[in-house]
Amino acid sequence: MADTVRASHILVSTDGKEKESALASINEIKAKIDGGDAFSDLAREHSDCPSGADGGDLGSFGHGAMVAEFDKAAFELDVDSVSDVVETAFGYHLIHRTE
């Protein structure tokens, strides 16, 4: 297993939103990715994280740098794959492992 990964993500925050609405939004984004839309374009358009401006790029990080649910999902992904929806205390994420 790699010591570090590089990943991008899309966050639909649940802060001040109904969880059901946020979950519906992230599922719509996932369907667009599965349909061939570019992850980075969707991150710029929809992510509630400041990294969205960079196409969701979080750079490289090691184990424990992210919250546990995110960390686990990111390290389990194959390079160039996108996760299913990952829920954390921040909201709902899609993670794209790039390295």
Residue 67 phi/psi, 5° resolution? -60, 155
For residue 57 the two structure tokens come to 């790029």
Give the pLDDT of residue 1.
64
Mean pLDDT of 25-42: 98
Q: Domain segments of the chain: what residues?
A: 4-97
Mean pLDDT of 77-97: 97
| CA–CA dist 13, 99 (Å, integer) | 25
CATH architecture of the domain covering 4-97: Roll (3.10)
Are 5 and 61 in contact by the 8 Å Cβ rule? The answer is yes
2 pLDDT band, cuts 50/70/90, is confident
66 pLDDT band, cuts 50/70/90, is very high
**How much of the chain exceeds pLDDT 70, in percent?**
99
Mean predicted lDDT score pLDDT of the chain: 96
pLDDT in tens, 8-21: 999 999 998 899 99
